[in-house]
Amino acid sequence: MASASATGKLSREEFRRQKDLDAARKAGTAPAALDEEGKAINPHIPQYIAQAPWYLDTGAPSLSHQRMPDYDRSSDKLDNWYDRGVKAGPAAKKYRKGACENCGAITHKRQDCLERPRRRGAKFTNKGIAPDEVIQDVASGYDAKRDRWNGYDPAEHKKIYEEYEALEAARQKLREDEIDKQTTTDLAAVRKVAKAGKEKDEERDDDFGSSDEEDEDADKYAESADAVGQKLDTKTRITVRNLRIREDTAKYLINLDPSSAYYDPKTRSMRDNPMKNVTPEEARFAGDNFYRHSGEAPEVQKLQLFAWNAAARGNDVHMNANPTQGQLLHQEFEHKKEKLKDINKSSILTKYGGEQYLEKAPKELLQGQTEEYVEFSRTGQVLKGKERATVKSKYPEDVFVNNHTAVWGSWYDAASGVWGYACCHSIIHLSYCTGLAGIEAAQASTAKNLLASSLATDASPPPESVPRSKETAEDRKKKAEELFSKKRLGEGDLALDKDRLTQAMQEERKRKARGGEDEDRQGKRQKGGQGSSHEVSQEELEAYRMNRRMMEDPMADYVDAEV
């Protein structure tokens, strides 16, 4: 190993030989090095661990410098300290050679004596010889040496605390006695009492000690006295300061993110919540605005707003000057406001009605919620409880009129493409039911119409069928023009009759005034009979197009404002 070599500089051959030996030990061909205890040293240990520093190097392979030295740990205890004030038996009666010339104790010299220097020491008087001290050898460890409170007795602090409490109680009693004896309230008498109290405090300070807070006692005496011209009990005076409790966490330390809520150091305020992801109820601090909207703060804000509005209208209302008056006026205002709201509500209901719509059923009943227990099986059958009724629509269902057994629209005639009643096959709405006779009559009528249409088809000459292969381009173009011509679609250059167009325009305006084309169509159908159709002329189509409102036109609702 590196520590096995000599402490001096190795020659080239010795260094090469040492490297070969280390390689052989790592390969397992050479035995491992042994330490002072005869234990083998792992050859794979790095050199910076196996090599001992110069002040611990013994010149032999060893790892003892990596182990913690053994020593007596009993000396590290923090409670090992000198026994103060312990004397070694009774004092000597005669001065001994080599003892302290001042007190006569043989355990220290004159320059180390802690007693008061005597005019004539014990060496010359052989009187008042002090007993010898007990010399203790306290072996303290690293921690015990550096502990500033090592050897401190907590019982000593209790004595200091009791002495301080007794001192404060005596001072307080003296101040109360001085104030009670005071008969005049002029400023000169107050200063006299303060000066007397200060002199007495200085006298007590000589016995018990003084502190920095006791220098302000003169100001305290003046504050405790009654003010001139005022009947004020100073013992009940309360001073509110903008101070926080020092044990509380500061607002700016709750969230150290610079992008969080802003903290104003001048007013010590943080309006927003610094912890956005925590609910205000669980947060330690939810922002100053949280306190403004909690508790009785909103009521105070409403009262202040009422006082400002009342003062703006010329009323003599002030929140701070006369708070009782402001509170009573605000209550009266709220009472009148609620009463006026009830009067307006009742007047509106009396004039327009609709009170039955305000008396709504509970929300649980409207949504079908109930407390009844119902138990179902796997197939959906009710095992226990009452089955819930089927929810119906707001429209009347299964209402049969005019002796019908089916509703309108329950039957569809595919031949004519109309709807009717399934009980009588009647296609007339609100007609009287004829039963099976009506069904037979409808079937006979349908068969008759089919026969007539088939005979008309046979009698008509067959159209000239032109083979598709023989159709020319001109024929196809002519057919397309017939199907998609502007004249057929109601567009293009048409010859319109002005008188008929004027009449159609008037009819179109009347139709729109009556409320739409549904009513107009119904009237025309009644005039023309059941199932009759009305042929729309070019003038009526043009009148409809001219009076139609273009919803997709962005300028349809444009009105030119007069300047």
pLDDT over 90 at 509, yes or no: no
Higher-confidence position of 18 and 389: 18
Structure tokens at 362: 């509970």
Instruction: Name the one residue in this structure whose structure tokens are 């001192």.
Output: 167
Closest CA relative to residue 121, chosen from 106, 104, 133:
104
pLDDT at 338: 94
Tokens describing residue 33:
């090095």
Dihedral in degrees, nearest 10, Cα atoms 417, 419, 425, 430: -140
DSSP string, 225-281: SPPTT----GGG-----S---TTSPPGGGT---TTS---BTTTTB--S-S-TTS-TT
pLDDT band per the 50, 70, 90 thresholds, residue 273: confident
pLDDT on residue 24: 93
Mean pLDDT, residues 111-140: 89
Task: Indicate the range of 27-41, 156-170, 469-483 predicted with least confidence.
Answer: 469-483
Residue 447 is predicted with a pLDDT of 75
pTM above 0.85, yes or no: no
Strand intervals (E) in 345-495: 375-376, 382-384, 408-413, 418-421
pLDDT of amino acid 210: 47
Q: What is the mean pLDDT of residues 9-21?
A: 90
Tokens (6 digits) for 64: 């003892």
Average pLDDT, the chain: 77
The Cβ-side half-sphere exposure at 406, using a 13 Å CA radius, reads 18
| pLDDT category of residue 254 using cuts at 50, 70 and 90 | confident
In this structure, of 101-115, 233-247, 532-546, the range with the lowest mean pLDDT score is 233-247
pLDDT digits (tens, 9 = 90+) for 275-301: 888 887 788 888 888 877 788 888 888
- The more confidently predicted of residues 245 and 502 is 502
Q: Look-up: residue for tokens 């007539």?
A: 452
Q: Provide the pLDDT confidence category of residue 23 given band limits of 50, 70 and 90.
A: very high
**∠ CA 20-23-29, rounded to 5°:** 100
**Comparing 541 with 42, which gets the higher pLDDT?**
42
Residues 493 and 220: their CA atoms lie apart, in Å, by: 111
* Band (229; pLDDT cuts 50, 70, 90): very low
pLDDT digits (tens, 9 = 90+) for 300-324: 889 999 999 998 888 888 888 888 9
* Confidence category of residue 3, pLDDT binned at 50, 70, 90: very low
In tens, the pLDDT along 402-422 reads 888 888 888 888 777 888 998
Residues 6+ apart with CB under 8 A from 210: 202
Q: What is the pLDDT of residues 451-507, one digit of tens each?
A: 776 666 555 555 454 455 455 767 777 766 665 555 555 555 567 788 888 888 888
pLDDT in tens, 177-211: 887 776 545 556 656 666 766 665 565 555 544 44
| CB-CB contact of 2 with 41 (8 Å) | no
Give percent above pLDDT 70 in the chain. Answer: 70
Tens of pLDDT, residues 431-452: 889 888 888 888 888 777 767 7
The average pLDDT across 514-539 equals 58
Q: Which residues does 95 contact at the CB level (< 8 Å), separation at least 6?
A: 104, 122, 123, 126, 129
- Band of residue 148 on the pLDDT scale cut at 50, 70, 90: confident
pLDDT number for residue 228: 45
pLDDT at 297: 85
Cβ neighbours of residue 295 closer than 8 Å, sequence gap 6 or more: none
Q: What are the C-alpha distances in Å from 137 to residues 98, 140, 352?
A: 22, 9, 107
Domain ranges of the chain: 2-66, 157-236, 408-453, 499-516+536-549
446 and 420 Cβ atoms separated by less than 8 Å: no
Both tokens of 111, joined, read 């320059």
The predicted pLDDT at position 230 comes to: 44
Give residue 457's pLDDT: 57
Neighbours of 511 (CB within 10 A): 19
